[in-house]
Chains A and B, each alone.
Chain A
Amino acid sequence: MSAVTPVIEQASSGRVRRFLTGPVGAQITAVIAFLLLWQLVTLIAPRVPTPASVAHFLYIEITGGPHGGIVTGQFWEHFAATLRYFSIGLLIGFTAGVLVGVVIGSSRIGQALLNDTVLVLLTLPAFVWAFLATMWFGISWQAPVVAVAFSSFPFVTINVAQGVRSITPELKNMSSAFGVSRRKRFRHLTLAAVTGYLFAGLRFAIIIGWNGILLWEWFSGQEGVGFRTRYWFDANRYRGFVGWVIVFIVFIVIVDRVLLNRLQARAFRWRDPGEVSDGIEQNGG
């Protein structure tokens, strides 16, 4: 008995060590290290709110209650307002991007006519669209929609055009030689080739459009996530500001990493599992 215990202990401590040095353990350690580092920074710079105070702020902001004289609890209202404009703008930007992308990708003339314009649009920072949208539409529902649609549109276009260009003419010729029907050709050839690029475009559009709507709301909004972030920033309550920043970062990371990765894996279930890339994409300024 006395000889067995150390062996068990050794085994379990080995397992713990293996867990801690494994990928999951390393990630958990990273999160803890980040929180510790944050706490440490608050000791040096007292203006930076502590993790606990931010968590407490978010709890009150979501559940509702007095917060330094300001009654809160409209968390979901603000979130829903942002999501509404964001999704409409994204839908418009994505649809327009796919249409123009197909034109650029499939026709030489289309490419020559439109490619340069799209390249120029690609270099524009999102805040420019936020400003222009306000100057065009004032503070209205059209302005955020336009800001999202315009900032995401060129990224979708470029990706879709590349996807359409990637369809190999050999496969196209072969399938028409073997009399494959138009519908089948579209599904198995065109869609299969373009899907990856569509996803890349959608990801870009989501990340860049999200930045665009936050910027619009920050500068000109009356409600929404960006507005609320600015509200606490202007009120000099940095824990509110940091709390909302965490909310919009968590949202975009979840959408990008979890939802889109799953969708992509599903769309590519016919491929080798290792092939679906998981790098970081260009983020929109």
Chain B
Amino acid sequence: MTETLAQAAPDREALALELRRTAAGSRRRRYLAVVGGWLAFLLVWWGLAALLGSEARLPSPPRVLQEVREILAGDFWTQFWASIVRVIAGFFAAVAIGTPLGFIMGRSRYWGNFLQAPVVVAGSIPGLTYAVMAFVVFGISFWGPVMAVGLISMPYVAINVAEGVRGVDRGLINMSIAYHRSEQQIFRNVVVPSVLPFIFAGVRLSFSLAWKVGTLTEVFGSSKGIGFQIRRNFQLFNMPAVIAWVLLFCLFMLLIERLVLVRLERRLFRWRQWERD
């Protein structure tokens, strides 16, 4: 008996070591594959560009890189800042309209039914509609993209808030009433903290969509912003610049999503850590 145990122990250790080694190996292999993926992508792009041999069709990666450098050295930050400020203002509008709507939908069954169809339809309207509407209402102005972003994100906020309000813990409210907390205190300390994550989830869900519609609105009615730059270069038939602006757009959208939103979420909901773990 003791013999088998003694024998098993080193075996297990060896097994664990072996497992760790293969895990490290597979991780290394995965990194290699990801890098390989990017290399393959670049190579395919380069090859296609060489094959077509036309800058107006598909410029080569170094040509686009040069364009990116020029844009970054030029007025990129002004343009980028113009776009991002509008998207953020639009989110505030969406939260300002969507939260009360969501509260009503979550509190009363009648208003839930009443608003269900309009909110769902508003969520599946093509972005083109909002962009053109914003242009018609505001012309070339700061408020056009704000309105479009607000309208496109509002349904997501409203539906999430309704969901959150329906999910508020009745037990907690009853307990607060039993302990003679005032209505205001219950709202601040029970309802708001449990609905807040849902507001944030609505904003996060609609983030990429809002960013896209905001840019689309700049295509129609704006004199600056990333969307305007893409359209201007499209009209000039300047393919390297179009691709460079599009790449910068992608890069910053991914960066904001990964770095800012994910961090903000963690910070805002630190107190919920126990729930997630």
Interface residues of A (CB under 8 A from B): 21-23, 26-27, 29-31, 33-34, 47, 108-109, 112-117, 119-120, 122-128, 131-132, 134-136, 207, 210-211, 214-215, 218, 226, 233, 238, 241, 245, 248-249, 252-253, 256-257, 279-285
The answer, among B41, B129, B216, for a CB contact under 8 Å with A127, is B216
B209 and A30 form a contact (CB under 8 A):
no
CA of A28 to CA of B92, assembled, Å: 31
Smallest CB-CB separation from B135: which chain A residue?
Answer: A233
- Chain B min CB distance to A96 (Å): 15
- Chain A min CB distance to B63 (Å): 15
A282 and B209 form a contact (CB under 8 A):
yes
A to B contact number (C-beta, < 8 Å): 148
Smallest CB-CB separation from B247: which chain A residue?
Answer: A120
Binary CB contact string for chain B from 175 to 215 against chain A (1 if under 8 A, 0 otherwise): 00000000000000000000000000000011011111101
- Chain B min CB distance to A236 (Å): 11
| Known A117-B37, A280-B124, A285-B209: A249·B129 in contact at CB below 8 Å | yes
Interface residues of B (CB under 8 A from A): 26, 30, 33-34, 36-38, 40-41, 56-57, 110-111, 113-121, 123-129, 132, 136, 152, 155-156, 159, 205-206, 208-213, 215-216, 219, 227, 230-231, 234, 237, 239, 242, 246, 249-250, 253-254
Supply 12 A–B pairs (Cβ within 8 Å), ascending by A: A26-B111, A112-B37, A116-B38, A117-B37, A124-B246, A125-B127, A253-B124, A280-B159, A283-B125, A284-B127, A285-B209, A285-B211
Smallest CB-CB separation from B119: which chain A residue?
Answer: A280
Q: For B132, list chain A residues within 8 Å (CB).
A: 233, 241, 245
Q: Given contacts A26-B114, A123-B208, A256-B124, list 13 more A-B pairs with CB under 8 A.
A: A27-B114, A30-B115, A30-B118, A112-B37, A115-B34, A123-B254, A125-B216, A128-B230, A135-B237, A215-B216, A283-B126, A285-B127, A285-B208
B126 and A252 form a contact (CB under 8 A):
yes
Q: For A30, list chain B residues within 8 Å (CB).
A: 114-115, 117-118
Q: For A257, list chain B residues within 8 Å (CB).
A: 120
- Chain A min CB distance to B236 (Å): 11
| Known A215-B128, A233-B132: A283·B37 in contact at CB below 8 Å | no
Q: Is the interface of B mostly helix, strand, loop or mixed?
A: helix
Smallest CB-CB separation from A110: which chain B residue?
Answer: B33
- Chain B min CB distance to A114 (Å): 6
CA of A280 to CA of B125, assembled, Å: 11
Q: For A281, list chain B residues within 8 Å (CB).
A: 123-124
Q: For A117, list chain B residues within 8 Å (CB).
A: 37, 41
Q: For A29, list chain B residues within 8 Å (CB).
A: 114
A283 and B242 form a contact (CB under 8 A):
no
| Known A23-B113, A112-B34, A113-B37: A135·B239 in contact at CB below 8 Å | yes
- Chain B min CB distance to A180 (Å): 30
| Known A207-B124, A211-B127, A252-B126: A279·B159 in contact at CB below 8 Å | yes
| Known A131-B234, A135-B234: A114·B126 in contact at CB below 8 Å | no
| Known A116-B37, A120-B254, A131-B242: A211·B126 in contact at CB below 8 Å | yes
Between A117, A125, A127, the greatest number of chain B beta carbons within 10 A of the residue's beta carbon is seen for A125
A218 and B254 form a contact (CB under 8 A):
no
CA of A109 to CA of B111, assembled, Å: 50
| Known A112-B36, A112-B37, A127-B216: A283·B124 in contact at CB below 8 Å | yes
Q: For B210, list chain A residues within 8 Å (CB).
A: 285
Smallest CB-CB separation from A211: which chain B residue?
Answer: B126
- Chain A min CB distance to B46 (Å): 15
B121 and A128 form a contact (CB under 8 A):
no
B242 and A132 form a contact (CB under 8 A):
yes
A131 and B126 form a contact (CB under 8 A):
no
CA of A128 to CA of B244, assembled, Å: 12
Smallest CB-CB separation from A131: which chain B residue?
Answer: B234
Q: For A134, list chain B residues within 8 Å (CB).
A: 234
Q: For A109, list chain B residues within 8 Å (CB).
A: 33
Smallest CB-CB separation from A47: which chain B residue?
Answer: B136
